[in-house]
Structure 1
């Protein structure tokens, strides 16, 4: 006969089930976090693979003989840097998969235990229900109540017990399905991990080859190090002169724009009209989403201070990024604006300055200019072509961003490729 002791046991089991469900939800939340991290790492890995593909296409499509040893070393060093990042990201993915596999294996073991307990409990309930299944025993259970309130509670309990039996049956099916899904997921994770390990083996072999090639090149120029150091110092002086020239042009651009507003007291900053303020805000809101100034390219030269690859005593502070692209590639405006300045650099090629409110973008090393000063331009509009250097076999676009007269690192402003 069904009794109140059974009711207490059932209540304890329900509480145990609730505690388990809370634990399950917590572990599910952790699983989602790991899954999101895995997606993020995979996106980074795909980006690095794409970058290596572009490096091979843009920097290694010409014969080595066309490039100087210094340029070749720069190219290899850049490729090595990207390759190392690819290996690091792939390692992180494999390690995260290892943790996920271990977690799933523990979860499967736990689910098997819970499934066994559910089945044992369900079997016991079936036996108990069979022994007390007659309507007479239920009626006697109700009639033996000391008062109406107790009888009502017992009636409610009979309904709850019946529902609980159904819930147990449903729970067994759910656990079985969950176990099947986890086993499939586990097998997929093991396959993914093995694939990543194999890809990393290939990447490490390629990295070893690139490091060896770089070492051979470094050895080949040691006898002429003095000559290369002199060339590097000369390039540094030319870059410093270019920076000085651009800074002067930026200040002239700001002064000329402010003169039109009738406010010339502000120095180094644009006096903004309401329209210019709106454009500045729109430009700022697109940080990290600006389109690239070329259809296809890789950032070969980074912004900021860098040491010379051949002479560690020489450092240079780069205010531009240099994007390697296809020969004669179209140059496109990264945002709506007005052409503020077109200037042919001393011992250099044309540059275009485009104003976006209080921001300026500068496009350097052009072979053609397709706009004129004062033109209003749209995002993605072709404004010129990149100069193709026949001696080095390179097409490098110099690109800068200024806020008023302060130069910024352009890379975080551009959308991820």
Structure 2
């Protein structure tokens, strides 16, 4: 039977598998989430292309898309590994069933042959009348009845084993087809990954020619982020004396709604390499999310609007209190809430700035626990 060997996969397994112990259903869920993020990134890149826009956002979106494709390849690799294991088990089961079915058929054939020979020698009546006593005749009757019952049971077993074998073969064909589809998808993702890396190389080369402009922009961003951080720290100090409602926010790690309907994280939490400038590190107290559809900013969890403050370089920032936690939504243009207002999960708090430039359509989002900055990507639902 057809069996795709691991050696045929070696060319494609370009990224080591980092997932383990997961079911095919869990892997399918991951694939769907990754494909959605990749599609969002593709939509943004198409939009940038139409606008003839080339800036560090292109590189950031491409970087994120490359990261998601690499992760998707890992998931496909794990899926193929699980399928190979399933196929091996099925092949083993089929071989065992074929052997058992062959033995059953041989036994049944022997029974039929013996029955035919005995029928030629005497019929059932002569078999009974040939007994020397009633007890012997009865024993012969019981023996013949058990013999016929055993023969019928062997026939039923053959039918059952045949059906088990057919079911296993049908399942094997489904697994092989699924594996073949995964292999084709893996090849396609690998080709797209290569294409993405070529694009990012071209974009970086073009942007590096504008290094002075990029460095100026970076200084402005650092200044704006420092202003935002100072404002948040000051407000947190002010809010310590304010009474707050208890919140279950702490139970929602990994389950928070996203602050935009569709978007791509273009700048991650913490310190990391600048997407274009060599030897330059950037620090982010939250995440920057490029919205890929509507521009509405939404609350990730129910709470109370604590402050609405202007931040140079980030338009306005809305701070929402959730017990001892605080969520920050910056680069809001038209704010639709006011301090003291209770808001619910997914309620709109304003629209993201969309007036042109690298900050256009980008929501800056932070999570604080008292005075401690948290990584939003660990809290948002995957």
Q: By the TM > 0.5 criterion, same fold?
A: yes
Question: Quick one: distance in 2 between partners of 1:289 and 1:384?
Answer: 22
Alignment of 1:261-272 (within 5 A): none
Q: CA deviation at 1:320?
A: 1.0
Question: Quick one: distance in 1 between partners of 2:145 and 2:380?
Answer: 64
Q: CA deviation at 1:173?
A: 2.1
Question: Quick one: distance in 1 between partners of 2:155 and 2:213?
Answer: 84
Alignment of 1:240-251 (within 5 A): 240-251=226-237
Question: Quick one: distance in 1 between partners of 2:222 and 2:158?
Answer: 73
Q: CA deviation at 1:112?
A: 0.2
Determine whether 1:314 maps to 2:300. Answer: no
Alignment of 1:178-193 (within 5 A): 178-193=164-179
The 8 Å contact of residues 64 and 72 in structure 1, kept in 2 or not, is answered as no
Indicate the RMSD between aligned Cα atoms, in angstroms: 3.5
Map Cα deviations across residues 44-70 of structure 1 (whole Å, 9 max, x no partner).
122221111111223431336653432
Q: Structure 2 length normalisation: TM-score?
A: 0.80
- Per the alignment, residue 105 of structure 1 pairs with 91
Count of residues in correspondence between the two structures = 356
- Per the alignment, residue 232 of structure 1 pairs with 218
1:308/1:230 CA distance change after superposition, 3 Å? same
Q: CA deviation at 1:94?
A: 2.3
- Per the alignment, residue 383 of structure 1 pairs with 349
| Higher deviation after alignment, 372-381 or 407-416 | 407-416
Question: Quick one: distance in 2 between partners of 1:293 and 1:142?
Answer: 91
Alignment of 1:8-407 (within 5 A): 37-63=23-49, 66-124=52-110, 136=128, 167-225=153-211, 228-229=214-215, 231-253=217-239, 255-257=240-242, 260=243, 276-277=245-246, 279-280=247-248, 283-326=249-292, 329-392=295-358, 394-407=360-373
1:400/1:108 CA distance change after superposition, 3 Å? same
SS at match of 1:63: helix
- Per the alignment, residue 18 of structure 1 pairs with none
1:364/1:156 CA distance change after superposition, 3 Å? farther
Q: CA deviation at 1:285?
A: 3.1
Q: CA deviation at 1:237?
A: 4.3
SS at match of 2:101: helix
Q: CA deviation at 1:380?
A: 1.9
Where does the alignment leave 5 or more consecutive residues of structure 2 unmatched? 1-19
Question: Quick one: distance in 2 between partners of 1:140 and 1:115?
Answer: 41
Question: Quick one: distance in 2 between partners of 1:239 and 1:92?
Answer: 40
Q: CA deviation at 1:359?
A: 1.9
Question: Quick one: distance in 1 between partners of 2:67 and 2:132?
Answer: 83
Q: Structure 1 length normalisation: TM-score?
A: 0.73
1:76/1:49 CA distance change after superposition, 3 Å? same
SS at match of 1:346: coil
Map Cα deviations across residues 18-68 of structure 1 (whole Å, 9 max, x no partner).
xxxxxxxxxxxxxxxx99712221221222211111112234313366534
The 8 Å contact of residues 67 and 391 in structure 1, kept in 2 or not, is answered as no
SS at match of 1:240: helix
Question: Quick one: distance in 1 between partners of 2:286 and 2:162?
Answer: 60
The 8 Å contact of residues 353 and 359 in structure 2, kept in 1 or not, is answered as no
Q: CA deviation at 1:395?
A: 0.6
| Higher deviation after alignment, 240-249 or 44-53 | 240-249
The 8 Å contact of residues 68 and 392 in structure 1, kept in 2 or not, is answered as no
The 8 Å contact of residues 57 and 266 in structure 2, kept in 1 or not, is answered as no
1:367/1:177 CA distance change after superposition, 3 Å? same
